Structure 1
């Protein structure tokens, strides 16, 4: 009797609210959708980890030489916190989506997170080995907002763009002589870089269009005395942005710069103390 009344109440509620059973395909679609989002989260997590490896391996000799930087600055350059945070975010998204799937209740949250982390690391190493991380860094360097890219996505660019601290990077725009050249930095500013105090055995083959990083001293406005010149590995494609390359390849701009450089050369020849 009680059972019949309970059933009648349920039927009454169903009729009152016009409830209808959901079709099976809706549950199947939701399950597949959650899996797809989970797999995509792993994919992007793996890309993030591949960039962590790439940026760490592009650090050069910063640990041993330091280049005038504090321990905190070196840590923030060597450990790409931005991409580690993205890795953690995507693994968490993987967990959130996977735990809503049909059989996820059988597994502990910790196990799901560990599986996500392992897959992201293994896949990230594969992406790095295949060169995907380098290509991705190139795409980001050419297209993402300069401040966002240099400060967060690839802090090595910001690290090597502080001439006041003795670090300058950019692309060689013109050779002045066998001891100096002109360089366009990340802000499209042109510098005269002098390197006559570097031993010949430690000098790169300097040529127009080469992307370099240098360590030394800012000796005057737009003038830099380098005691070490190295190739720019990561972030080098940042200097392939149209605004920077135009300053190197545009004939009109080059004509203006050549006239300006001639005036600079006359000034420098009369003030050799600037080059010491």
Structure 2
């Protein structure tokens, strides 16, 4: 019986011209699978770091008052594209790990937990060191269609009809109007009458701010005002970059200690310049 089975096996091998597969094939296949899994893990970490950056750059403490309960505003802060780009490599990495020689021993749960944990830790660390921001900036500059896939903070705050306006202060006029240039290079005249006096005093030309309020409709303006820049009535003004912090007031006054430090610095720089022979000689 055993001999009959052996003869049958040998006959089929000869008929099909079967040859033994080299062990190098299986070794190379194993290395390739783990390399693909590592590549997927790195891709997931990069995508995760970009998602963490975009989510952290969003103004989650806003909106207030008129924007409260705006689900669209909240959903705009979720980086849907990058979350998808994070999940896909994670799933791919788990599938490739399970296809390796010892994948059945690892199991889907353990492999998924390991890859997901590595993605979360690596993505957070990369975002902290600016990798996520670098990826976002590089894609924004080199890939125009990318703008339609990601909703940036500047785009969210360039919707005056929704009560959100941001830009750079160009001038602060005596009529309590603030002239700003938004991120689309449009000039706006922002009325700050409803703002506290202390908050108006903190504004300086060149400062980047974000404003919550409402646009002034052209129907309620005179013909002369219609020819000027569009108007926006401000309810709240906050700095653009520094979240949860007030705009710093520039104080021209110098304390005695700061003046002494500046004098010592000037003296040391002059002495160093004299040693190099570049300082002007005193008459």
User: TM (normalized to structure 1)?
Assistant: 0.68
More displaced stretch, 74-83 vs 90-99:
74-83
* 1:216 Cα deviation after fit: 1.2
* Kept after mapping to 1: 8 A contact 2:94/2:112: yes
* Kept after mapping to 1: 8 A contact 2:48/2:83: yes
In structure 1, the partner of 2:12 is 9
Tell me the distance in 1 between the aligned counterparts of 2:66 and 2:16.
75
Distance 1:6 1:31, change over 3 A: closer
In structure 2, the partner of 1:159 is 156
In structure 2, the partner of 1:223 is 231
Q: Which has the higher contact order (CA 8 A, sep 6+)?
A: 1
Tell me the distance in 1 between the aligned counterparts of 2:68 and 2:194.
22
In structure 2, the partner of 1:185 is 183
User: TM (normalized to structure 2)?
Assistant: 0.66
In structure 1, the partner of 2:171 is 175
Name the structure with the higher helix share: 1
Q: Deviations over 1:58-112 (max 9, x none)?
A: 3335356265254422331333222222221121111122222222121211221
Q: Deviations over 1:30-84 (max 9, x none)?
A: 3222222212222222223323333333333535626525442233133322222
Q: Deviations over 1:230-264 (max 9, x none)?
A: 33349xxxxxxxxxxxxxxxxxxxxxxxxxxxxxx
* Kept after mapping to 2: 8 A contact 1:51/1:128: yes
Tell me the distance in 2 between the aligned counterparts of 1:142 and 1:169.
21
What are structure 2's unaligned runs of at least 5 residues?
A: 219-229, 243-283
In structure 2, the partner of 1:72 is 71
**CA RMSD in angstroms, aligned pairs only:** 3.0
* Runs of 4 or more above 6 Å deviation: none
SS of residue paired to 2:235? strand
* 1:22 Cα deviation after fit: 4.4
- Where do 1:226-265 residues align within 5 Å? 226-233=234-241
Tell me the distance in 1 between the aligned counterparts of 2:240 and 2:25.
53
Tell me the distance in 1 between the aligned counterparts of 2:136 and 2:65.
24
SS of residue paired to 2:101? coil
Distance 1:72 1:218, change over 3 A: same
